[in-house]
Structure 1
Amino acid sequence: MNSDTTITASSLYERALGAYLGFACGDALGATLEFMTPEQIHETYGLHKDITGGGWLGLPQGHVTDATEMTLTLSQAIIDAQGWDIKVVADYFVVWLSKHPTDISEAVLRGIRRYKNTGDLMAPYDDHDAGNGACSRILPLALICLYQDEAFESWLCEQNHFTHHNSLSDRASQMLGYLVKHLIRQETDLAEEKIAEFIEKEPQFAFSPYPGHSSGYIVDTIQTVLHFFHTTDSLEDCITKTVNMGGDANTVGALAGMLAGAKYGVGAIPERWLKQLDPDISELIKKQTTTLLSLAEKLAEQNP
């Protein structure tokens, strides 16, 4: 566990909750713009900066997409199992699918159906299955493994491979997860070192100069998230500029919100967004954050 006594439980909670609520706000804000181009967005909305719903899914104001729904489901599976159990996670995803979610990717649908039909917890390796769907679910694991790196890497692979078995996706997810952990623990220097180390090893993810593509491909996703994370100085600007790139705006916006929330804390989230977000989602996120951090403490005590 981090020995820095200046990092209090309240400051950890503020950043962890900021990451989770930032994720949901980025999802809800970006859902309106999914599959649009920046030019179409500008022509239709000018600068889209309020959670209004709509979009191709026709969402009510404040509702989220599969990115947040699956993260909430994964968190609840961890909480109810009092730790990590990939079979429990898989069973919870089956229940989630049975409720006919508004949106679901082909890879996720394929993975859940495979498990339901065969019991197989791992998708076959696929060089082309480098979408951002698995990466979008890393936050619960980053929270429960806040002080445990070995468990984080192992469990992350199991989580990823349930729907996306791809080494590019794995490496990007691991980097982003470590980045969130460092930011929540206020280890800014380590966070920047992690990014630099990752780009040195994986130059295809280089984001400066920014290529300008925001899509569900993991390389485009990471480049967009890191670009706006580094070129803005507030949570609102980071999320707003990210989603206004369009493309896979809900998922990319959610991940940008996760990083910005971990960096700036929950107090940086605009009050209007918190009021516009579905209140049931907000309350569940608050409860889950508290419990996941408690489980992180428990795991750290069991494995010092």
Structure 2
Amino acid sequence: MNDTDSDKPGILDRARGALLGLAVGDALGSSLEFGPRVSPPLARREMTGGGPFNLPVGCWTDDTALSIGLGKSLVACRKFDPLDAAQRFLAYYREGEYSSVPGTCVDIGATTRQALERFERTGNPYSGSTDEHSSGNGSVMRLASVGIFTLDVPVEEAIRIAQAQSRLTHGSAVCLDGCSYLVQLLRLVLQGVEDPLVLALPRFEGHPDILRAKTALWGGVERRHVKPGGDCADTIHASLWSCANAPSFEHAVTLACNLGFDADTTACVAGAIAGAKFGAEAIPARWLEPLAQRHRIGTLALSLVRSSSDIYLYGA
């Protein structure tokens, strides 16, 4: 890292916060996944387990598992290696590798599943559909690992890696631009930037859906207009709205969970952003203590930070 020693603890805490916050949001939201919007906005705020996958308390879904797989690939290869990352994703799908329930694939999106099956048949890791109708949130949900790993490289390199990892499963323009925007935002939050106008990246030029999504940071968006669906742009908008209207990590993730529908992914992305902002120390102990594999996740975050100053730049 380029930071001074006095700054390092802050960055380490924020990096742990991003990855642990992602997993906490996933575990909390999994019990509300596919359900209706909950009112009042902060009604459900305990980690209960259950949900459509009947998970034990503290267990999480594919959002966290694939984030871990990607993070481990980045650390092991010291760069983004598309073949290695795709093989790790496939290992989760086929064998339950990285799962909170060992040996079990706890959910996987249709677009991701189809891409991995194409990879199995063809050997081409870049098997994500480029169809605009396949613009789900499966690649933005795993970006925290990229944001941490690329802290010490030029932003252009971070964008290339973010978009390349998206192309493994989601190759549409919306998904690529969504990953480009979100990795830039995550890097800024990890670096301690909190100004919402800065985080909105006014100079960001991308797909109109992503440009609309980032307006959630400007305030004034009513809850009834937030759509927490499985679409990439909707997920970014809903997670930003949750963070923009919250004074704490707990508040942000609770707002995201109670939006319902694709609650685990909305809360996963919101948890990564809020965790990067407030740090791991701000995550409530009652959520963190039952979290599956919390020590391994925290250790992976630290490994990603340490790898960020010693990586091979991504070229192809």
Q: TM-score, normalised by structure 2?
A: 0.87
The one-letter code matched in structure 2 to 1:70 is: L
- CA RMSD of superposed structures (Å): 2.3
Aligned partners of 1:300 and 1:9: how far apart in 2?
22
Task: Tell me the equivalent position of 2:7.
Answer: 8
| Contact 1:175 1:194 survives alignment (8 Å) | no
Task: Tell me the equivalent position of 1:266.
Answer: 280
Select which of 118, 122, 128 maps to 1:114: 118
Give yes or no for the alignment of 1:168 onto 2:178. Answer: no
Give yes or no for the alignment of 1:146 onto 2:142. Answer: no
Aligned partners of 2:115 and 2:172: how far apart in 1?
13
The one-letter code matched in structure 1 to 2:29 is: G
Task: Tell me the equivalent position of 2:302.
Answer: 290
More helix by share: 1
Give the 3-state SS of the residue equivalent to 1:276 in structure 2: coil
Give the 3-state SS of the residue equivalent to 1:56 in structure 2: helix
Which consecutive unaligned segments of at least 5 residues does structure 2 have? Answer: 96-103
Task: Tell me the equivalent position of 1:18.
Answer: 17
Select which of 68, 71, 77 maps to 1:81: 77
Task: Tell me the equivalent position of 1:48.
Answer: 44
Aligned partners of 1:142 and 1:268: how far apart in 2?
20
Give yes or no for the alignment of 1:204 onto 2:209. Answer: no
Question: How many percent identity over aligned positions?
Answer: 28
| Contact 1:83 1:295 survives alignment (8 Å) | no
Aligned partners of 1:7 and 1:254: how far apart in 2?
29
- Cα offset, 1:200, TM superposition: 7.9
Aligned partners of 1:196 and 1:181: how far apart in 2?
12
Q: TM-score, normalised by structure 1?
A: 0.90
Aligned partners of 2:178 and 2:306: how far apart in 1?
27
The one-letter code matched in structure 2 to 1:104 is: I
The one-letter code matched in structure 2 to 1:287 is: T
Task: Tell me the equivalent position of 1:159.
Answer: 165
Aligned partners of 1:8 and 1:229: how far apart in 2?
24
CA deviations 1:63-101 (Å, max 9, x no partner) are 000000110111111222232211111111121122240
CA deviations 1:5-48 (Å, max 9, x no partner) are 4861111000000111111000000000001112xx459x9821
Aligned partners of 1:112 and 1:256: how far apart in 2?
26
Higher deviation after alignment, 282-291 or 24-33: 282-291
Aligned partners of 2:6 and 2:165: how far apart in 1?
29
Higher deviation after alignment, 245-254 or 145-154: 145-154
Aligned partners of 2:249 and 2:180: how far apart in 1?
22
Task: Tell me the equivalent position of 1:195.
Answer: 200
Aligned partners of 1:35 and 1:157: how far apart in 2?
28
Map 1:178-257; keep pairs closer than 5 Å. 178-189=184-195, 192-197=197-202, 202=208, 203-205=211-213, 206-207=215-216, 208-210=220-222, 211-257=225-271
Give the 3-state SS of the residue equivalent to 2:289 in structure 1: helix
Give yes or no for the alignment of 1:104 onto 2:108. Answer: yes
- Cα offset, 1:194, TM superposition: 3.7
- Cα offset, 1:188, TM superposition: 2.5
Distance 1:73 1:234, change over 3 A: same
Give yes or no for the alignment of 1:34 onto 2:33. Answer: yes
CA deviations 1:179-207 (Å, max 9, x no partner) are 11111111234x63241516886443233
Which consecutive unaligned segments of at least 5 residues does structure 1 have? Answer: none
Aligned partners of 2:187 and 2:5: how far apart in 1?
16
